[in-house]
Chain A
Amino acid sequence: MRTFEDDPTLEDLLSADQLQRLNRMLSALCREPVEIGSDRKDGALALEFNLETIGWLAGGSSEQERLAAADLVSFLMMFIAKYRLAANLHHDTTEASYAELQKQNEALKASEARYRALSDQLQEQVDEQVTVIKQAQMDLYESARLRSVGQLAAGVAHEINNPIGFISSNLKVAGEYVNDLREVVPDTRQNRELLDDFTDLLGESSDGARRIASIVSDLKTFSSIDQADYTLCDVNELLASAVHLLQTEYGHDLEILKKPGELPKISGHPSRLSQTFYNLLDNAAQALREQTQESGAEGKAGRILAKTSVDSDGIRVVIQDNGCGIPESIREQVFDAFYTSRPVGSGTGLGLTVARDTVRAHGGSIQIDSREGTGTRVTLLLPVS
Chain B
Amino acid sequence: MADHSPDDNRLALKVVFYGPALSGKTTNLMQLHSLLNPQRKGELMVLETRDDRTLFFDMLPIGLKGASGLDLRLKLYTVPGQVQHDSTRKAVLSRADAVVFVADSQTAQQDNNATAFGNLEENLEKVGLDIDTLPMAVQFNKRDLPGVVGDAELQKRWAETPWAPLQMASALHGKGVLETFRVLLDRLYTEVDREFALDTDHGIDRDTFIRQLSAASEDSRAYL
Contact = CB atoms under 8 A, between A and B. Distances in A.
Interface of A: 3-5, 48-51, 78, 81-82, 85-86, 89-90, 92-93, 96-97, 100
A70 to B, nearest CB: 14
Contact of A5 (B40, B41, B75, B87): B75
B42 A82 contact: no
B14 interface: yes
Given A93-B91, A96-B90, A96-B91, A86 B73 contact: no
A86 B75 contact: no
Contacts, number: 50
B172 to A, nearest CB: 24
Contacts of A3: 94-95
Contacts of A93: 87-88, 90-91
Given A5-B14, A51-B40, A51-B61, A81 B45 contact: yes
Contacts of B45: 50, 78, 81-82, 85
A85 B42 contact: no
B56 A85 contact: yes
Contacts of B95: 3, 5
A73 to B, nearest CB: 13
Given A93-B91, A96-B91, A51 B42 contact: yes
Contact of B91 (A49, A50, A89): A89
A4 B91 contact: yes
Contacts of A81: 45
Given A5-B14, A96-B87, A82 B47 contact: yes
A17 to B, nearest CB: 25
13 contacts: A3-B94, A5-B77, A50-B42, A51-B40, A51-B41, A51-B42, A51-B62, A85-B59, A86-B47, A89-B57, A89-B91, A93-B87, A93-B90
B56 A86 contact: yes
Name the prevailing secondary structure of the B interface residues. Answer: mixed
Instruction: Please tell me the size bucket of the interface on B.
Output: 20 to 34
Contacts of A50: 42-43, 45, 61, 75
5 A-B pairs with least C-beta separation: A93-B87, A50-B61, A51-B42, A50-B42, A51-B63
A125 B77 CA distance: 60
A82 B57 CA distance: 10
Given A89-B88, A96-B87, 17 more contacts: A3-B94, A5-B75, A50-B43, A51-B40, A51-B41, A51-B42, A51-B61, A51-B62, A82-B47, A85-B47, A85-B59, A86-B47, A86-B48, A89-B47, A93-B87, A93-B88, A96-B91
A1 to B, nearest CB: 12
Contact of A51 (B73, B77, B92, B94): B73
A147 B45 CA distance: 97
Interface of B: 14, 40-43, 45, 47-48, 56-57, 59, 61-63, 73, 75, 77, 87-88, 90-92, 94-95
Nearest to B71: A51
Given A51-B40, A85-B45, A97 B56 contact: no
Contacts of B73: 51
A54 B43 CA distance: 15
A5 B1 CA distance: 12
A78 B47 CA distance: 11
Contacts of B88: 89, 93
A97 B14 contact: no
Contacts of B90: 93, 96
A78 B77 CA distance: 16
Contacts of B56: 85-86, 89-90
Contacts of B91: 4, 89, 92-93, 96
A149 B166 CA distance: 95
Interface-central residue, B47, B73, B90, B91, by most chain A CB under 10 Å:
B91
A47 to B, nearest CB: 13
B62 to A, nearest CB: 8
Contacts of A5: 14, 75, 77, 95
A97 B87 contact: yes
A5 B77 CA distance: 10
A84 to B, nearest CB: 11
A116 B161 CA distance: 48
A9 to B, nearest CB: 13
Contacts of B87: 93, 96-97, 100
A5 B56 CA distance: 12
Nearest to A96: B87
B127 to A, nearest CB: 10
Nearest to A98: B87
A302 B134 CA distance: 100
A93 B57 CA distance: 13
B50 to A, nearest CB: 13
A155 to B, nearest CB: 84
